[in-house]
Amino acid sequence: MLRLEFNPILGRPLRVDDLDTLGIATQTLAETAIRDGRHEEALALVDYYFREMRIMHDIMVTWLADIGRYLLARETGYADAAPLATTLVQTWRTFPVGEAPRERCKEAIAEGDKAAAILWLEKMRLEFKNPHDILVAWVQDLLATIATRWGEEAVLECILETHDRIWGARYERWDQMTPHEKLALTVEGMRGGHFSGPQRRGDVLLIDQGDRYKMIMDPCGSGGVLRRGDPETGRPPHPAGEEGVNRQPHLWTWQKTGLHWYCVHCPIVKEWLSGRRRGRLLRPLDHALDPDAPCTWYVYKDENRTRAYHYPRTGTPVPPNAPDFGEDWSREYPGGS
Question: Is 324 exposed, middle or buried, given 0-12, 13-18 or 19+ CB atoms closer than 10 A?
Answer: exposed
- CA 85, 86, 92: angle at the middle one, nearest 5? 115
Nearest Cα to Cα of residue 22 among 213, 264, 156, 152: 213
Rounded CA separation 309/328 (Å)? 6
pLDDT band at 225 (very low <50, low <70, confident <90, very high): very high
For residue 267, the tally of other CB atoms under 10 A from its CB is: 24
Helices (H), ranges, the chain: 19-22, 26-35, 39-76, 82-88, 90-94, 99-111, 114-150, 152-163, 169-170, 179-188, 223-228, 265-267, 273-278
Kindly report the pTM of this predicted structure: 0.95
> What number is the average pLDDT over the span 37-43?
98
Cross-strand bridge partners of residue 299: 213
Distant-in-sequence, close-in-space partners of 324: CB < 8 Å, separation ≥ 6: 307, 308, 309
pLDDT band at 336 (very low <50, low <70, confident <90, very high): very low
Give me the residue spans of the domains in the chain: 4-314
pLDDT in the model for residue 337: 41
Rounded CA separation 312/300 (Å)? 17
> What number is the average pLDDT over the span 12-38?
98
Rounded CA separation 292/227 (Å)? 9
pLDDT in the model for residue 334: 63
The answer to whether 118 and 84 are in contact (CB under 8 A) is no
Q: Is the pLDDT of residue 144 over 70?
A: yes
Q: Is the pLDDT of residue 15 over 80?
A: yes
